[in-house]
């Protein structure tokens, strides 16, 4: 039986489904301490138990995006704030190749905030 998390991806239509699945793999490959779970109906990725990013589809354009939870602390020209005060997103055209170097750079900058203690959290033993 498939989990609700698996069903999130499988219920999406192509090409968004493949794009989201590829983004999931890129995110999970960044660090062995990254886990994923379904929160608020969307896949959230946690670093040592603390939420750091999520995947969703833009309401207007239906384009997949990565949402960076502490985006206000990450400076990259492709991250956009829109009407959010804390989070930033990076949108992707699911019909084009993903900018993998850019994604990895943004994820590294974000994860470094956790690794260096800029974002405080309780580590699980």
Q: Which domain covers residue 107, as residue numbers?
A: 4-115
Residue 124 lies in a domain: no
The answer to pTM > 0.95 is no
The whole-chain average pLDDT of the chain stands at 93
> Which CATH number goes with the domain that contains 31?
3.90.1150.200
pLDDT in tens, the chain (125 residues): 778 899 999 999 999 999 999 999 999 999 999 999 999 999 999 999 999 999 999 999 999 999 999 999 999 999 999 888 899 999 999 999 999 999 999 999 999 999 999 988 665 54
Residues 6+ apart with CB under 8 A from 18: 94
Q: Give the helix ranges, DSSP H, for the chain.
A: 4-10, 16-28, 100-115
Residue 122 lies in a domain: no
Cβ neighbours, 10 Å, residue 119: 17
């Amino acid at each position: 039986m498939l989990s609700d998390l698996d069903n999130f991806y499988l219920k999406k239509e192509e090409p968004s489904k493949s794009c989201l699945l590829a983004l999931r793999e890129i995110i999970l490959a960044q660090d062995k301490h990254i886990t994923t779970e379904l929160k608020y109906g969307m896949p959230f990725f946690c670093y040592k138990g603390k939420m750091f990013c999520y995947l969703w589809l833009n309401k207007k354009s239906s384009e997949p995006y990565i949402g960076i939870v502490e985006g206000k602390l990450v400076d990259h020209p492709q991250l956009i704030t829109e009407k959010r005060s804390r989070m930033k997103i990076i949108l992707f055209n699911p019909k084009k190749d993903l900018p993998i170097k850019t994604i990895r750079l943004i994820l590294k900058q974000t994860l470094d905030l956790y690794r260096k203690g800029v974002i405080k959290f309780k580590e699980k033993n």
